[in-house]
A and B are shown apart, each in its own frame.
Chain A
Amino acid sequence: MQRITFWFVPPLLLVAILLMPICSCAELTQTEVSESLICYACPGEPLNIDRCGGGDRMRADITRLLNQGKSKPEILDYFVAQFGDSILTTVPKKGFNLVAYTGPFIALLVGIPLALLIIRRWGSAGRRQAVERGATEPTVTLDEQTRLKIEKELADLDEEG
């Protein structure tokens, strides 16, 4: 019982704490839309950060469109029609832009097999060394006292490290 309490109470407490502040925010806000847009007057500056007059006009447009019941994609389309793709903070997933989206995952697709290959090479070298060791070193069975002594010495070594 004590073990169950030990292992399950902390995660339950963690979950309880996590749940406390959470509630869903279904209504689309101006900030959520402006996060995806760049201020047309200040190139490179996201609209949710920008504070210039041009940005104010864009924010007023967003509020107006939200009041008309437009969805986020519809509002973004409205701005893209006026200013082109460069008004978006999200790079559109088309043409050359796909390089930005796929690049990291292609790197991963190359990196993981490469890592597997390296481990395999380590493995074969390790096995070779083990065979060589096995041929020269006798197998020893340890009693409990010796095992504890070795553990202590390894711990001491770790402390020094």
Chain B
Amino acid sequence: MISFGTYSLIAALFFTLLSMGLFLSGLARNNVRLVQAGKRGLLSAAIATTLASVALAWLFLTDNFSVEYVASYSDRALPLFYKITAFWAGQKGSLLFWAWVLSVFIALVIFNNRREADDRNTPYIYLVLAGTLAFFLFLLCAISSPFETLGFMPRDGQGLNPMLQNPGMVFHPPILFFGYIGFTIPFAYAVAAMITGNTGADWIRKTRVWNVLPWIFLSIGIILGGQWAYVELGWGGYWAWDPVENASFIPWLVSTAFIHTAIIQERRGVMKVWNMVLIQLTFLLCIFGTYLVRSGILQSVHDFGATGLGGYFLVFMIVALIGGIYLLAESYNEFKTPGSVESYLSRESTFLFNNVILLALAFATLLGTVFPIISEAVTGNKLTVGQPFFNQVNTPLFLLLVLLTGICPLIGWRKASVSNLRRNFLRPALTALLAGVIMAISGIRELYPLLAFTLSAFVGATIVQEYITAIRSRKKLTGEASAAAAVKLLWKMRRRYGGHIVHFGLAIMVIGIAASSAYKLESQGTLRQGESLSIGKYELKYEKFRKYDKFNRTIYAAQLGVFVDGKRIDEMEAERRYYINAKQPTTEVALRSTLIEDLYVTMPGIGRGNEITLKVAVNPLLIWVWLGSTLMVIGGILAIIPARRKAACSE
């Protein structure tokens, strides 16, 4: 199976390089059949990469520890579930997973376009895709093969890092990879459009799903990562502004900007050059994120060993950057178009400002992430840029973004009249003002939380107002009942309302972030059995202690009764786990989550006579962060569900 995997990878690289040759020949000879043969070569590469992935999975499942990668990330006691996830636990497996997903995505693009005639963009699109795939396959074949053997069979493997033995490991890394990899598709279309000088919005229309789908994957990946970090002690809560976390957030911000301006190009035919810049930037930042994680140039709590691959990613990134700048400079005059916006007060303008803020946020996050390197190069002093810095710099920018999210739907395309603005702004502004005043009266004095709640109320009110107005118009036009009109509107105009749901989710998430950051309660204490610890309205009573073995770990668990006003309302169990092959114990969080607040308990220490040390926190409205982010994903999915082709088209 080891040889099978190795030869499959070599075959995949061969087919990919062959395809590139066929595309180049097709271009040189203007021969469509060569281009079609190239596509078949890419399909063969996808099959070969799939076989290599199956081989690696099989080596994990059969505990073949003669393979260095398997021995490093698995052991006999590891549950089956985690043996599969160990596939992407290390760098070599992640690279194979990346190559496999990219090859499958390319196959999907070929399948989707099977009914469309090849145009002059086609060979360039597949050349870019094949070039990217070839880069990863080259690394796998020549530099970092997951099928490398030790030369002997150890009795057992080293096991999987206990922190990675969490259900989050199943979904978070692969989905995040789907996001990173997915942006290769619109990037390839954009490069092809630049080379051929195809200045229309065709490439944006054709990649409409591929523009949003990676964004959805990236969003889901970030959310799942946040949830995992929240329950995994040692990762600093759901968001710690760690370099690895930032590496996923920066392309998310830039791709969000791209999704907005792509709409403008489709509708108004402007911002063609800007969209080219944004999609290239998104792709480069995805590669940059991978470079950051693998180069070891920055320290991260999510870092599981730096590799020697940083240099290769850097070279790939530089080639893509220089190539992109060159193509942009070459095609600039063709893409430059006069606009047709009549006023500063137009939706196009708000989209542009939203872009400025999103990019400023991305820049601030990038600058903070790489500042330790810059600082060391300039002053010789390697600083650590942590959470307080990012909160200080990014919070005002983020609040500005929320404000623009509220303003945007209130302003029409092209030009808004003053009366129109007055009519649209009055109710949301009054709602926000009322929310702000009531909160200020009730004791919220901190500026940022106050602004966050007020602006979220504003965003919510604008969306509700727009929806109700649209329902009324539909009722007037069709005579439908309110509920039917509401549902049909949502479904038939899902692109628009998908966007609104994303924004509504953002408002809810902002409320959750503001409340859980600003009004968090914390307490700590050491308890003997029968003793209690109070926090806010809660009293936690240490009731029972037990020790037991499960799978590959020994668990020490403390049962805690949760009391409110002397009444027992629930029980929680905080754990410390000792894994086989792990040097240190891990602490498992006990969580009681409601719509109002999370009761968050950890047990950092166990003393003599089963005396326990507890760290307890009450995080207000934290679940709103998950609810809001889930709504954002639902909105994104709704927006990309394609419309059925109407029979009327043929009439």
Contacts and interface: CB of A to CB of B under 8 A. Distances in A.
B3 interface: no
B375 interface: yes
A49 B359 contact: no
Contact of A100 (B240, B300, B371, B388): B371
A111 to B, nearest CB: 4
B535 to A, nearest CB: 10
Interface in B325-367: 338-344, 346, 348-349, 352-353, 355-357, 359-361, 363-364, 367
A14 B460 contact: yes
Nearest to B298: A44
A112 B404 CA distance: 13
B628 interface: no
Nearest to A113: B356
A89 B384 contact: yes
Interface in A36-79: 36, 38, 43-46, 48-49, 51
Contacts of B378: 96
Interface string A109-147: 001101110111111011111100000000000000000
Interface residues of A, number: 73
Q: Is the interface of A mostly helix, strand, loop or mixed?
A: helix
A15 interface: yes
Interface in A10-34: 10-12, 14-15, 17-25, 29-32
A123 B342 contact: yes
Given A35-B387, A111-B360, A125 B443 contact: no
B114 interface: no
A45 B299 contact: yes
Contacts of A21: 515, 519, 596-597, 618, 620-621
A74 B475 CA distance: 65
A100 B384 contact: no
Q: What range describes how many residues of B lie at the interface?
A: 35 or more
Contact of B367 (A31, A90, A103, A161): A103
A126 B414 contact: yes
Given A7-B427, A159-B643, A22 B444 contact: yes
B367 A104 contact: yes
B461 interface: yes
B364 A104 contact: yes
B464 interface: yes
Interface string B441-458: 011100000000100010
Contact of B386 (A22, A90, A99, A127): A90
Contacts of A90: 386, 388-389, 392
A48 B615 CA distance: 12
Contacts of A161: 495, 643
A125 B357 CA distance: 25
Contacts of A89: 384-389
B367 A100 contact: yes
Contact of A45 (B301, B359, B584): B301
B393 interface: yes
A56 to B, nearest CB: 9
Contacts of B618: 21
B337 to A, nearest CB: 9
Contacts of B473: 151, 155
